[in-house]
Amino acid sequence: MTVLNPYKILLNGDYSTLIVVLSAATFFRSMCSIIGYNGKNSAAPLIVDSLKRMEYRGYDSVGVATFDSGNILVRKGIGKVAEVNKNLNLGQMSGNIGIGHTRWATHGGVTDKNAHPHSACKKDIAVVHNGIIENYKELKEELMSAGHTFVSETDSEVIAHILEIHYNKGIKEAMIETCKRLRGNYAFVAVFQDGAIGGARYEEPLVVGVTNDGYFVSSDVLGFLEYTDKAIFLENGDICVVDNSKLEIFDSQGRPIAHPITQVAWELGDIDKGKYAHHTLKEINEQQLTVIHAGRQDEAVMNKFCDVLVNAKDIYITGSGTSHHSALIFKHMLARFGKIRAETVVSSESKYALASMDSNSVLIAISQSGETADVLDSVRLARDQGAKILSIVNVTTSSLARTSDACLSTNCGPEIGVAATKSFTSQLALIYNITDRICKNCLATEKAEFVIAVENVISNSASSIRAAAQIKDASDVYLLGRSLHYPIALEGALKMKELAYVHAEGIAAGELKHGPLALMEKNTVVIILNPHDATFNDTISNAHEIKARGATVIGISDRKEDIYDYWIEIPHLKEEAYYPIVEVIPLQILAYQMALAKNVDPDYPRNLAKSVTVR
């Protein structure tokens, strides 16, 4: 497959301010998967398969609607795709036109009635929706006053009713008039009783897949990549209609829009678990390759990226969740090796903390999905103030990548497990690569050793598994680290919350006596991130203080110490800057094994979705 890069590199200029944004590889608000198909093949099997591939986006409930012989048939229920398909035979629904949805609940509980698709009173329209309609209460009251009856608690149902009101004007006019009434962020796809499907987006992703015999309309290229690698990426405010195998794209005024067909050349198709029990375990094991792939960058783009960094007057690094932890590492690496001062800001706080941007500022956004709402909000803030946008993403066809002036890829391939594993270490590997360019290869001599160390940690996971068995019933776990190890303590705590539903807290080891030591007692579990580097002796002292109060101490280190009740060994590294990637992998394995011990699905943590695209 030929790689076609649709992004222009616009890095010319001397910028006095640089803002670095790291988007989470995990989840900070919510998202659902939506898919539509209009073509010559049976729609339901394609839709069910597509929903399985996008299930990481939401898995509370599932539904499919198909059009056949003048009727719209809707089937939906609570559960994952395979379960609902087995119970309701979703894949056997008739018709060559249809839509589907997996839900991550925002408005209304997880019930059959709240599952998508949603219909209106006449049952001549069905809608699937991702996002939040902020004015849905106002719209619902207006519609009910006009005689409309609602059956769900969702904000999404208002879309179907508004479409129904305008349907007699034609599908194009109905789509336009409906979008005019909606406030908030949304992407939706509707199937109509005359056999057409329509889609629209505003601040939520929507992409058209082009096949030889029809079209897909999806929230994610993963939804159709098994069937076509040709995609049209809709821009904000775009509306599309597929009728009689003809695609029309237009703006909110009904004016036609021409978008190029992009050939998607990223290896998204391979999302099978293979020999592994879970996607999460597969992705943990893939890190011995993905940390290498992260370093494979276009030389010209990388050089321009680093030139902007070096010449920036002020640098702000922001991210959410896992990527905020990457931001903390990045800040440390820039200071230590690049002699560059930077500040970090949590993305959700960006509108309060990043108000000083101007036309001399540069925003660098780093994201696994490229669709995280907090980060896109930061990008819009920067754009509104005239800043340039750079990005590092794993999905180079994402909204973030397409709105950027230049884009680097983490190259780690699809990450289906909801909790970030390989995407996090790929972000760190790319951060090291950027740092290495800035400090003129000051880290290069240790890269081979670093890669071997990653392989060894993955291959020798027995000590992590044994430790997980010992602490599986712990209700509270504390993780301590200093310097570069503190962000990894935060990341390890996040993994335990996400995968094992354990209260876990990352603590800066030097702050132990400023409150956290009061929590240390018998049956308390404390994990010490303690490789033999400049932080080793101080952290060992913390371990003694903790052990003296009866707590269980687990040491993650290249050096065994008697103070550890359990020792998780990691390889020794000559360049200590690489330890964060090496030491986070045992924490990923530990959290995964604790999830198995609790009999919970590590791929799909409760209440969480992969990438959070609504507020």
The three-state (H, E, C) secondary structure of 137-184, written as one string: HHHHHHHHHCCCCCCCCCCCHHHHHHHHHHHHHCHHHHHHHHHHHCCE
Contact 38, 244 (CB under 8 A): no
For the chain, what percent of residues have pLDDT higher than 70?
Answer: 91
Backbone φ, ψ for residue 357 (5° rounding): -65, 150
* Residue 8 is among the residues annotated as catalytic for this protein: no
End-to-end CA distance of the chain: 37
Least confident of 179-188, 290-299, 440-449: 440-449
Cβ atoms of residues 91 and 138 within 8 Å? no
Per-residue pLDDT, 614: 47
What is the mean predicted confidence (pLDDT) over 289-308?
89
Distance (Å, whole) CA 173 – CA 163: 9
Query: For residues 383 and 236, what is the distance between their CA atoms, to the nearest angstrom?
Result: 15
**pLDDT for position 29:** 36
Residue of 76, 80, 140, 610 with catalytic role:
610
At 187 the three-state DSSP class reads strand
Rounded to whole angstroms, the Cα distance separating 123 from 191 reads 11
370 vs 15 pLDDT, higher one? 370
How many other C-beta atoms are found inside a 10 Å radius of the C-beta of residue 77? Answer: 16
Residue 551's nearest CA partner among 496, 500, 476, 499 is 476
Task: Give me the DSSP letters along 396-415.
Answer: TTSHHHHHSSEEEE------
Residue tagged active-site, from 32, 179, 240, 412: 32
Whether the per-residue pLDDT at 2 is higher than 70: the answer is no
Q: pLDDT for 306-357, tens place per residue?
A: 888 888 888 888 778 898 899 999 999 999 999 988 888 888 888 888 888 8
> Residue 17 pLDDT > 90, yes or no?
no
Look up residue 587 and give its DSSP letter: H
Per-residue pLDDT at 223 exceeds 70: yes
The predicted model gives 358-385 an average pLDDT of 83
Q: Is pLDDT above 50 for 6?
A: no
599 with 470: CB under 8 angstroms?
Answer: no
Instruction: Give the C-alpha separation, 255 to 138, whole Å.
Output: 29
Task: Kindly report the average pLDDT of the chain as a whole number.
Answer: 86
Q: Which helix (H) or strand (E) holds 567?
A: strand 566-569
Amino acid identity of 356? S
Give residue 28's pLDDT. 31
pTM: predicted TM-score of the whole model, two decimal places: 0.75
- pLDDT value for 269: 45
Most confident of 15-19, 154-158, 450-454: 154-158
Q: 158: alpha, beta or left, given left = phi > 0 and alpha = psi -120 to 50?
A: alpha
In degrees rounded to 5, what are phi and psi of residue 486?
-65, -45
User: Please, what are the domains in the chain?
Assistant: 8-28+272-442 (3.40.50.10490), 33-218+230-263 (3.60.20.10), 461-603 (3.40.50.10490)
Residue 265 CB neighbours (<10 A): 14
- Predicted confidence (pLDDT) at residue 379 exceeds the cutoff of 70: yes
Tokens of 291: 């940390």
**Average pLDDT for 160-182:** 96
Q: Which of 410, 388, 391 is nearest to 399 (CA)?
A: 391
Identify which has the larger pLDDT, 373 or 206. Answer: 206
Residue 611 pLDDT more than 90? no
- Is pLDDT larger for residue 255 or for residue 611? 255
Planar angle of CA 27, 28, 30, nearest 5 degrees: 75
Note if 76 is an active site residue: no
